[in-house]
Amino acid sequence: MTWMQTVRPLMFVGAGLLVVGSLLGARLFSHGAGGGTDSTTKSPVTLPNVKDGPGMIVIGYADSDPPPVDYKLPPTLATGQIEQVFVKPGDEVKVRKIRLFGGTLKIGDPLYKFDSTLQEADLRIAENAITTAQGKLAEAKGAIGTHSTERELALLAVKNAEFKVKQSLRTWQIAEKNTREGLSTVATSAQDLELRLRNDPKLFELESAWAIAEKEWDLKKEQLKGLESAKKDKLEPLVAQAESEVQRYEAQAQKARLVVDLCMVRAKTDGIVERVYARPGEGMGLSTREPAVILVPAGPRVVRAEVEAEFAHRIGQDKLRREVIISDHTDAKLTYKGVVKYIPNVFLPRRNSDAGFVPNETRVLEVVVEVADPNPAGKPPLRVGQKVRVNFGP
């Protein structure tokens, strides 16, 4: 009994020390001490010893503007084999402007090339089809040219037939007049005269020639109408069809040429090649996760500060274009100056939500801060992807 009375106070004291120690440890870890990950902790932390005074501090990541570009398969390929790689990490690439035919053509430096054997075969097939279609078009246009000549000849034949009709009629009229005058002296009556005229062989021959000439004239006019109808109903549609075929194969050739050109993957913007996964002989498909090349574009450096919903009310439009302090995540002495460039009006998932073992579904306001000088004298440069803290001030 005496032993229990002696030990019981010591047990209470030990329990109290354990509770106090747990509370102190939780407080320290809640402020990011001890090197633990902060992927699930609240972003803002108030620090009393910041240069510009205490303020809200959030986690952010240095980035380029525009962000780094992942180069993978071109949009026209579902799978491909890399034939050649033209760059290595650290290479600077540019998009060069070339003056051509009074305009400006932008061509990026080559990064890598896919095997384009099949695509070049498709291009040759399309180009050969263009040649064949152009031959058929020339043939159709030639038929129209021949038709035009035939129409001119038919029109001339109609005019000649008309002239022949007029001449035959005039010849018959003259012969009929002369014969009438000659027979009027021997005819016994008017009826006898008309009978003698109808039975005159010469007049009958001339009248028949006139009738035949009219029939020939009618025939030539029908032939001319047939030629004009053939041009509209047959030849012109044939030319239109041939032209359509040429345009169709030209479009196919243009598409095939574009596919061949896209097998050569080129830089879309000036920048530095930071990582190269591509290797000659390696295949890539739609399921390939790693990009072939990662390119960090040239241009300004920014920090994308992540503000969670609980603290969004402290980032109003009054913070726009205000100066902030950027510090390294692990060394608060490394500071950089920045200016708030953009404050969004929508919460979106974190860019680095898949960095931990368990994906973080927290949505944040991504405030963009433009870094005044990412490479100040006497300090290490602010690198793309670097984790930082941003002090927005009071």
Q: What is the pLDDT of residue 28?
A: 43
Q: Which amino acid type is present at position 144?
A: I
**H or E, element range at 173:** helix 117-183
* Three-state secondary structure readout of 364-382: EEEEEEEECCCCCCCCCCC
pLDDT above 80: residue 31: no
More confident residue, 110 or 235: 110
CA angle 21, 26, 28 (to 5 degrees): 95
More confident residue, 199 or 245: 245
Structure tokens of 87? 């760059």
Strand (E) positions, the chain? Answer: 45-46, 56-64, 69-71, 79-85, 92-93, 95-100, 103-108, 110-114, 264-266, 271-276, 283-285, 293-297, 301-308, 323-328, 335-342, 348-349, 363-371, 387-391
CB of 107 closer than 8 Å to CB of 264: no
Average pLDDT of the residues in 4-17: 59
pLDDT above 80: residue 46: no
* Pairwise CA distance, residues 310 & 305, whole Å: 15
More confident residue, 359 or 252: 252
pLDDT level of residue 374 (50, 70, 90 thresholds):
very high
Q: What is the pLDDT of residue 32?
A: 38
Domains and CATH numbers, the chain: 37-65+300-391 (2.40.30.170), 70-115+265-285 (2.40.50), 119-261 (1.10.287)
pLDDT tens figures, 310-359: 989 888 888 999 999 999 999 989 999 999 999 999 999 888 765 555 56
Q: What is the dihedral of CA 63, 66, 68, 72, to 10 degrees?
A: 160
Q: What is the pLDDT of residue 185?
A: 80
pLDDT level of residue 10 (50, 70, 90 thresholds):
low
Q: Cβ of 96: how many Cβ atoms within 10 Å?
A: 12
Q: Write the burial class of residue 17 (CB in 10 Å: 0-12 exposed, 13-18 middle, 19+ buried).
A: exposed
Lowest mean pLDDT among 36-40, 113-117, 334-338: 36-40
Sign, CA dihedral 49-50-55-59, equals negative
pTM beyond 0.75: the answer is no
Q: Write the burial class of residue 174 (CB in 10 Å: 0-12 exposed, 13-18 middle, 19+ buried).
A: exposed
Half-sphere exposure of residue 248, counting CA atoms within 13 Å on the CB side? 10
Query: What share of residues in the chain are helix, strand, coil (percent, to 5)?
Result: 45, 25, 30
Average pLDDT of the residues in 167-180: 87
Q: What is the pLDDT of residue 329?
A: 93
Percent above pLDDT 90 for the chain: 47
Q: What is the pLDDT of residue 203?
A: 83
Q: What is the pLDDT of residue 49?
A: 40
Q: Write the burial class of residue 147 (CB in 10 Å: 0-12 exposed, 13-18 middle, 19+ buried).
A: middle
- Looking at every residue in the chain, the average pLDDT score rounds to 83
pLDDT tens figures, 184-210: 888 778 888 888 788 888 888 888 888
Measure the N-to-C terminal CA separation of the chain; round to a whole number of Å. 62
pLDDT above 90: residue 123: yes
